[in-house]
């Protein structure tokens, strides 16, 4: 296993979280025969992301690991040395910034490093992102939210045609409903004429309360109003190193845990044969509130 954040430190930094409540959640998870064997750290991540709401956390955890199990296109074969993920590392730079915003939010940047659309694979890029995200979340601990900056430089209509709508639908639902950290904002920089088509694709998939959190920037000054330039890479008028340098440092670190990533993902599946029978009074297993069919491609 890769380095995991220290529980005592996180509880000390967040005194409003009652450890006994998280431990109750953890024990409940252990009692669910269909769920994987999770760490207390994982229970804490979801409990915090769900605003300390026990039943909501149970529901989200179940949906999260069910999604991981069913979405083999995103979570199958996360071997960073597989030809497809090696290519994804050459095609995309996707990495978290080293510093937090004044409100404690963390920022992730993703951009093309190879503009040839024939070499771009949307699904493989997301697989790489998810593999790295697992390590990052377990390392940094509790985060009040993340901000994603998507650089559209070099992104063309040909790239857009290589993105399947079923994959976009699934990933939008995943990002808005079952991730163990809130996705607060999405910022597009270096927009071209393609941005209108991207917004048209995303608009019906983004929840009403989140639509104002998607921002398209026509200038770096506009981006700086949301993210301090001192924490941004050089390409965005910041004081940090270049995107290429930051991405390579991050990918090198992630590759070090290649076997850990494979084992972690293998061990984070649900076993539907062991799922308790549906109980209409149970939030997690109720057919009215949880239907795994919703996670299959439409």
Q: Enumerate the domain spans of the chain.
A: 7-70+269-295, 77-259
Calpha distance 119→112 (Å, rounded): 11
Query: In this predicted structure, what is the pLDDT of residue 287?
Result: 35
At the topology level, CATH places domain 77-259 in: Phosphatidylinositol Transfer Protein Sec14p (3.40.525)
For residue 3, the model assigns a pLDDT of 84
d(CA 69, CA 34) in angstroms, rounded, equals 11
Q: What is the pLDDT of residue 284?
A: 36
Output the pLDDT for position 212: 82
Cβ neighbors of 117 (< 8 A, separation 6 or more) are 156, 158, 159, 161, 162
HSE (side-chain half, CA atoms, 13 Å) at 182: 15
- String of b and e for 105-130 (b: at least 16 CB within 10 Å)? bbbbbbbbeeeebeebbbbbbbbbbb
Inter-residue contact 253 to 134 (CB < 8 Å): no
pLDDT of residue 207: 86
**Would you give per-residue pLDDT tens digits along the chain (298 residues)?**
778 999 999 999 999 999 999 999 999 999 999 999 999 999 999 999 999 999 999 999 999 999 999 999 999 999 999 999 999 999 999 999 999 999 999 999 999 999 999 999 999 999 999 989 899 999 999 999 999 999 999 999 999 999 999 999 999 999 999 999 998 999 999 998 889 999 888 988 888 888 788 999 999 999 999 999 999 999 999 999 999 999 999 999 999 999 999 999 999 999 999 998 754 333 333 333 334 334 333 3
Which one, of 91, 41, 42, 78, lies nearest residue 62 by Cα? 42
CB distance 243 to 93 below 8 Å: yes
Global confidence as pTM: 0.89
Of 136, 140, 198, 133, the residue nearest 172 (C-alpha)? 198
């Amino acid at each position: 296993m890769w380095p995991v954040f220290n529980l005592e430190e996180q509880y000390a930094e967040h005194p409003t979280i009652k450890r006994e409540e998280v431990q109750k959640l953890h024990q409940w998870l252990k009692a669910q025969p269909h769920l994987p064997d999770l760490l207390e750290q994982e229970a804490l991540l979801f409990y915090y992301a769900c605003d300390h709401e026990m039943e909501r956390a149970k529901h989200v955890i179940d949906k999260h690991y069910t999604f991981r199990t069913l979405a083999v296109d995103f979570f199958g074969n996360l071997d960073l040395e597989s030809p497809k993920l090696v290519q994804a590392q050459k095609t995309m730079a996707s990495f978290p910034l080293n510093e937090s915003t004044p409100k404690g939010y963390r920022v992730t940047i993703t951009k093309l490093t190879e503009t040839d659309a024939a070499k771009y694979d949307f699904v493989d890029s997301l697989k790489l992102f998810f593999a790295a995200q697992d390590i990052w979340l377990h390392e940094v601990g509790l985060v009040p939210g993340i901000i994603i900056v998507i650089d559209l430089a070099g992104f063309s209509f040909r790239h857009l045609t290589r993105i399947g709508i079923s994959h976009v639908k699934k990933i939008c639902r995943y990002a808005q409903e079952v991730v163990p950290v809130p996705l607060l904002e999405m910022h597009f920089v270096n927009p071209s004429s393609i941005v209108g088509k991207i917004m048209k694709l995303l608009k019906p998939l983004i929840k009403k309360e989140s639509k104002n959190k998607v921002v398209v920037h026509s200038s770096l000054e506009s981006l700086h109003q949301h993210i301090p330039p001192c924490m941004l890479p050089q390409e965005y008028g910041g004081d940090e190193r270049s995107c290429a340098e930051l991405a390579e440092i991050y990918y090198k670190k992630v590759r070090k845990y290649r076997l850990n990533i494979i084992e972690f993902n293998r061990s984070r599946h649900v076993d539907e044969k062991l799922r308790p029978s549906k109980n209409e009074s149970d939030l997690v297993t109720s057919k009215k509130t949880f239907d795994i069919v919703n996670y299959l491609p439409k």
